[in-house]
Amino acid sequence: MTAVLVVVGGMLGAPARYLVDRAVARRFDSVFPLGTLVVNVCGSMLLGALIGAGANHWLLATAGVGFCGALTTFSTFGYETVRLVEEGAYSYAMANVVIGVSASLAAAFLGGWLGQQVWP
């Protein structure tokens, strides 16, 4: 049953990831991969909030592992960083690593704290 919940969450998270990335790319014409940054930070905050709130097993499987797992993307983050390096955009590549990792971790901690405050 848990695998089914993960699949359901992933079926929602994957298209959400694609749509958010495309919407951000259309709105902001930038060499910096803002779409990936947005989905990774939002997904990290949501997962942190679920854990901070003490979400039950089925909610963590569906929203945490399934939705957040499909929404966030480390492989695209890695690919985009390598692409920036190959294009000679070293400062953008470094910024992508520093900002992406720092912002995602901060969002996870903030989400966890908010989850504890809202659902004590």
Of 18, 19, 13, 26, the closest CA to residue 76 belongs to 18
pTM listed for this prediction:
0.95
| Segment 7-61, tens digit of pLDDT | 999 999 999 999 999 999 999 999 999 999 999 999 999 999 999 999 999 999 9
Paired tokens of 68: 């957040």
| 72 annotated as belonging to a binding site for a ligand | yes
8/43 Cα distance (integer angstroms):
16
In DSSP notation, 54-108 reads T--HHHIIIIIIIIIHHH--HHHHHHHHHHHHHTT-HHHHHHHHHHHHHHHHHHH
Q: Are 49 and 112 in contact (CB under 8 A)?
A: yes
| Segment 47-81, tens digit of pLDDT | 999 999 999 999 999 999 999 999 999 999 999 99
| 69 annotated as belonging to a binding site for a ligand | yes
Residue 1's Cα: distance from chain center in Å? 25
Range of the domain at 96: 1-118
Paired tokens of 53: 């709130």
| Segment 104-114, tens digit of pLDDT | 999 999 999 99
| Segment 77-118, tens digit of pLDDT | 999 999 999 999 999 999 999 999 999 999 999 999 999 999
107/39 Cα distance (integer angstroms):
11
Number of domains in the chain: 1
